[in-house]
Amino acid sequence: MIDALVIGAGPAGLMAADELAAKGHKVVVAEAKPTVGRKLLMAGKSGLNLTKDEPLDTFLAAYPDLPEALGQALKSFGPGDVVAWANALGQSTFTGSSGRVFPNVMKASPLLRAWLNKLTETGVEFRTNWRWSGASEFETPLGPQTLPARTTILAMGGASWARLGSDGNWTRYLADIDLAPFKPANMGFVVKWSDHMAKHFGAPVKPVVLKAGRKSVYAEFTISSRGIEGGGVYAISRDLRLGAQLHLDLLPNLSADDIRARLAKGGTKQSLANRLRKSLKLDPVKISLLNEFARPLPSDLAPILKHLPVSLNGPRPLDEAISTAGGIKFDQLDNHLMLTRRPGWFAAGEMLDWEAPTGGYLLTACLASGKRAGQGAAAWLKVQEANASVR
């Protein structure tokens, strides 16, 4: 019997394995896919956002309804710790103007490669193409296999990007655990466009302020044939998912009075389209959005340009989301992320019921929860060893 079995080789699982191996335990990592860290590598294709450089209180406030156990994990392994961890793996970082922290090489592959080398050197073994089928059982290329362990860490991700390994199929093997239904997070939304919008598919809309309820963000987004997506949408996606109306400020750098004054200067002899283009510098995609959602146009355009309502038809499908909410409820776990109904079993990462915006918060929480689960599992093993010596 091995000391520790980690199921899932994403950031949370690798960090749990790292923590256990550092304490001298024999660790095996089982991964359903042919290679490890697939979602991490995909996230790093456009620049791996490791964390966010900001005060811890501000950082923690980005997590809605932050569970106490996750908050404790983040306080123990926060943004500064993530940077130090990356540096220790030989991956120096830089902080962008928005506070987002990236490896200097931007990509995820050098960091993952260095991390896997470290884990291998400390004796961690990897079993790929091993799909968990409950308890200590796996479906493998060699048929069903059993891998009993003294402690087990579950880190199989949420239910988005199934092709990368996060398919949520593990829920069928946790019938005794109370789970929150999966919901998409950091996702796009469906818009049923009229035909005249087709020429703008793929176009960015910037700069704008996107507003949902009390939340607003100065950002940009992209129009697609399916709806809207991009950083500005993801930042308020939770509020939109919960039913808030989306409004756009198409001219965030002008006040309503500025808009009226500029339109008045343009005179009335020009067509409205020309006045919008010349007097307000409104680009074609913004003019089309105005026509899409504000027809018939009011005589006073300033209020609608500052607060344009956008009709949404629900979020894009779960598997297209960057991340998911839902999963194992935190009342099923102790503060060390052990399943109270399964002593010696721990869980980490997106298997747990939490969500966060993009911008480094997702990866930091996966790393922090993996580290905490690894620490909890190591403490569990220590207690079991002490009890065995007494007997």
Ordered DSSP codes for 283-331? -HHHHHHHHHHHPSPPS--HHHHHSEEE----BPPGGGSSEEEEEE-GG
Contacts for 154 with CB less than 8 Å, ≥ 6 apart: 7, 8, 170, 345, 346, 347, 348, 351
Residue 268 has pLDDT above 70, yes or no: no
Structure tokens at 359: 């911008």
Rounded-to-integer distance, Cα 261 and Cα 300, Å:
11
37, 14 in Cβ contact below 8 A? yes
Q: What is the pLDDT of residues 276-332, one digit of tens each?
A: 998 999 999 999 999 999 999 999 999 999 999 999 999 999 999 999 999 999 999
Q: What is the pLDDT of residues 65-108, one digit of tens each?
A: 999 999 999 999 999 999 999 999 999 999 999 999 999 999 99
Q: What are the structural domains, with CATH classification, of the chain? A: 2-184+321-390 (3.50.50.60), 189-310 (no CATH)
pLDDT tens-digit series, residues 131-156: 999 999 999 999 999 999 999 999 99
pLDDT value for 45: 80
- Residues with Cβ within 8 Å of 218's Cβ and at least 6 positions away in sequence, in order, are 207, 208, 209, 252
Decide if pLDDT at 391 tops 70: no
3-state secondary structure of 50: coil
Report helix, strand or coil for 14. helix
Backbone torsion region of residue 61, taken as left when φ is above 0, otherwise alpha when ψ lies between -120 and 50, otherwise beta: alpha
Sheet holding 143-146, edge to edge: 131-132, 137-140, 143-146
CA 200 to CA 25: how far, in whole Å? 56
Query: Over the chain, what is the mean pLDDT?
Result: 95
The pLDDT value recorded for residue 275 is: 87
For 359-387, how does the pLDDT look when each residue is reduced to its tens digit (9 = 90+)?
A: 999 999 999 999 999 999 999 999 998 88
Contact present, 100 and 83 (Cβ < 8 Å) = no
pLDDT class of 167 with cuts at 50, 70, 90:
very high
Mean pLDDT calculated for residue range 180-193: 97
Query: Quick count: other Cβ atoms within 10 Å of Cβ 104?
Result: 10
Proportion of the chain above pLDDT 70, given as a percent: 98
| Residue 385 CB coordination number (10 Å) | 12
From CA 96, how far away is CA 82, in angstroms rounded?
Answer: 16
Q: Are 363 and 43 within 8 A, CB to CB?
A: yes
**DSSP β-ladder status, 93-95 and 100-103:** antiparallel
Query: Residue 227 and residue 244: Cα distance in Å, rounded?
Result: 17
Helix (H) or strand (E) holding 140: strand 137-140
Per-residue pLDDT at 181? 97
Q: What is the DSSP string of 160-223?
A: S-GGGT---GGGGG-TTS-EEEEEEES--EE----GGGGGGTT-EEEEEEEEETTEEEEEEEEE
Q: Which sign, positive or negative, has the C-alpha torsion 228, 63, 37, 341?
A: negative
Tell me what pLDDT residue 111 has.
Answer: 96
The C-alpha atoms of residue 90 and residue 40 are separated, in whole angstroms, by 18
pLDDT of residue 271: 82
The pTM of this model reads: 0.94
Q: Is the pLDDT of residue 269 over 80?
A: no
